[in-house]
Amino acid sequence: MLLCFLLSWGSVLLFVGGMKNFPALPEQTEQELPIVAAATLLGPIVSGVAFSLIKYGRKGTSQHLRERTRWNNSYAALFFCAPAIVGSILTILSALVSADEYKPAILTINAEERVSYLLIGLGYGAAAGIFEEIGWSFFATPEMLEKLTQLDTGILLGLVWGFWHFLVAIWGSGDAEGRFSVDQFLPWIPWNTLVLPLYRVLMVQVFCKTKSVIPMVILHASLTASLPLILMPNITGVALASFYSLIAVALASILFCLSFVFGSEGTLVITKKKKIT
């Protein structure tokens, strides 16, 4: 974990020129965010591969890679998980609050630009899913499941995952005068401390049932492509923080229902996991 943070945060600090350039101006954030985001991806993939090689060696890592990249056609349906949750909440809020404010970003741009915007969102989501999950799911999740329950693993790893995003959040929370904006930063709090941990609990549960990293990549890509890109509403500050909190409530409800429906095999049932092979 420490190596992951050192690589990701170190790369970001190196690119932006140190903490003296925090936070960035809005125009800087818009221009440099793709590169800053790419810099953060170095941490999970490099640390995941490095620690796997150290623990299992080249042969063992190759074997685990083959075992944990099994494909099943049913995995494709997982891509609609995040859009279904986000889209449902947007539909309700559009009807109850404001259709303009809660209209997905892809519907606010010109029709001829929507395909390219969709492809950008999908590409960004795929990159985040592939590079991050090599660290979070290929190595960290199986290691944690040897010592912790599914629920504990999901919450703990989800909190680490969320905290990992905070440096970029601080960097991107500047106003037009370069001062830190609480309004810009506020939505990151429920996103990183509620949405990501709960979503990770769901991901860990899927990993335990499939023993494959592929569904993790799909679920991750689904969330990243949806927010803050394809389905992002035109809101900020308290409104966006409240929207993210509603997503967290929806995720918690889904996890509770899964626990209730599947009983002893449900997500929230605390069972000690054996070593994942």
pLDDT of residue 258: 85
Question: What local confidence, expressed as pLDDT, does residue 272 receive?
Answer: 46
Asked if the bond preceding 23 is cis, omega within 30° of 0, the reply is: yes
Residues near 246 by Cβ (< 8 Å), separated by ≥ 6?
89, 93
The predicted structure's pLDDT at residue 263: 55
Residue 259: predicted pLDDT? 82
Query: Rg of the Cα trace of the chain?
Result: 19
Residues of the chain with pLDDT under 70: 262-277
- From CA 236, how far away is CA 4, in angstroms rounded? 30
For residue 259, what are the contacts with CB-CB under 8 A and spacing of at least 6?
Answer: 266, 267, 268, 269
For the chain, report the end-to-end CA distance as a whole number of angstroms: 21
pLDDT recorded at residue 197: 98
pLDDT at 21: 92
